[in-house]
Amino acid sequence: MLRLYDYLPSQNAYKVRMLLGHLGLAYETVPVEIFQGESRTPAFLAMNPAGAVPVLEIAPGRVIAESNAILCYLAEGTAYLPSDRFERAKVMQWLFFEQDYVQPSIATIRHWTMTGKLERNAAQAPGRKAAGERVLDLLESHLAGRAFLADCGYSIADMAVFAYVHRAEEGGFDLSGRPALRAWFERVAAESVPLPPVYPYSIDPYSHRSLPVEPEAASS
C-alpha cells in the first residue's frame, strides 16, 4: 500500500490527498510532527534531504519527495496529466509557477498569519504580500474566459495551484474583486466532490515554532 508521510495543515500535502482521492487509491497516512523536529531526523532526511512533507513511499525503500513530483507520478497515465507533449508542458508550466510564485508569497503569508509569525517576519512580509497580490491578479486575468488553467481541461495544474490559492483569504488577501478566480474555485470543487478537509494550524500546539534545523551530521 502507498504510504504518505503527512502533516495535516500542509496544503502541499493537501494537493496530494486531493489527487489520491480522485484516483480512489488506498494509502496509509504517517503523521510527521514537523515543528517538533520529526522531519529533521536522520531517518526522514534519508527520504527527503530537504526535510519537508509530503513524502510518498510507493514501495519499501522507494520514495518520492516534493508535492508536485508526487502529483506527476500519481497522475501518469490518467486524464489529469496529458500524454501530448505540448499539453503536458503546459501543465508543467503551472506546476513550476505554483512553486516559484504561489509558495513564496501566498503560502508563506498565510502560514505566517495563521501561526503568529507575521511580526517576527515584519521586514519580509510587505514584499511577499505584494507579490501575492500580483499572483492573484495574474490568475484572475488568465482564468477570465477559461475553465481551467491549462487548455487540456482539469489537471494536476489546477490541483497544485488551488491548494494554497483557495485559502488566500486566510493570509489577508481580498478575493471579493476577483470573480474569475472565485468561479474557478467552484469548478475545481465540483470536480473534487468531496474536497479533502482543510486542517488549520491550530490543531498543532507547536505550529508557532520555527522549523528546527537539520542535525549537523545529516545535513553534510
- Over residues 72-82, the mean pLDDT reads 98
C-alpha to C-alpha distance for 197 and 84, rounded to whole angstroms: 32
Q: Are residues 73 and 92 in the same domain?
A: no
- Do the domain assignments include residue 214? no
Q: Are residues 62 and 140 in the same domain?
A: no
Q: Are residues 54 and 90 in the same domain?
A: no
- Do the domain assignments include residue 42? yes
Range of the domain at 164: 85-191
pLDDT at 87 over 60: yes
Q: Residue 138's closest CA among 39, 33, 146, 217? A: 146
Q: Are residues 19 and 100 in the same domain?
A: no
Q: Are residues 91 and 68 in the same domain?
A: no
The predicted-structure confidence for 181-203, as pLDDT tens digits, reads as follows: 999 999 999 998 899 999 999 99
Q: Are residues 9 and 61 in the same domain?
A: yes
Give yes or no for a contact between 34 and 53, defined as CB atoms under 8 angstroms apart. yes
Out of 47-51, 140-144, 153-157, 213-217, pick the least confident: 213-217
Cis peptide before 215 (omega within 30 of 0): no
CATH number at residue 112: 1.20.1050.10
What confidence score (pLDDT) does residue 215 get?
Answer: 42
What confidence score (pLDDT) does residue 198 get?
Answer: 98
Give yes or no for a contact between 50 and 65, defined as CB atoms under 8 angstroms apart. yes
Q: Are residues 155 and 113 in the same domain?
A: yes
What confidence score (pLDDT) does residue 217 get?
Answer: 29
* Run of H or E including 58: strand 55-59
pLDDT at 102 over 60: yes
CATH number at residue 12: 3.40.30.10
Q: Are residues 67 and 96 in the same domain?
A: no
What confidence score (pLDDT) does residue 213 get?
Answer: 63
- Do the domain assignments include residue 23? yes
Work out the number of other CB atoms within 10 angstroms of the CB of residue 145: 7
Q: What percent of the chain has pLDDT over 70?
A: 96
- Do the domain assignments include residue 208? no
Total domains in the chain come to 2
What's the pTM value of the predicted model, to 2 decimals?
0.95
Q: What is the mean pLDDT of the chain?
A: 95
- Do the domain assignments include residue 6? yes
C-alpha to C-alpha distance for 59 and 167, rounded to whole angstroms: 33
* Run of H or E including 55: strand 55-59
- Over residues 80-104, the mean pLDDT reads 98
DSSP alpha helix (H) spans, the chain? 11-23, 42-47, 67-75, 85-97, 108-114, 125-143, 156-165, 179-191
What confidence score (pLDDT) does residue 218 get?
Answer: 29
Banded pLDDT at 163 (limits 50, 70, 90): very high
- Do the domain assignments include residue 33? yes
Q: Are residues 118 and 176 in the same domain?
A: yes
Banded pLDDT at 212 (limits 50, 70, 90): confident
Q: Are residues 95 and 129 in the same domain?
A: yes
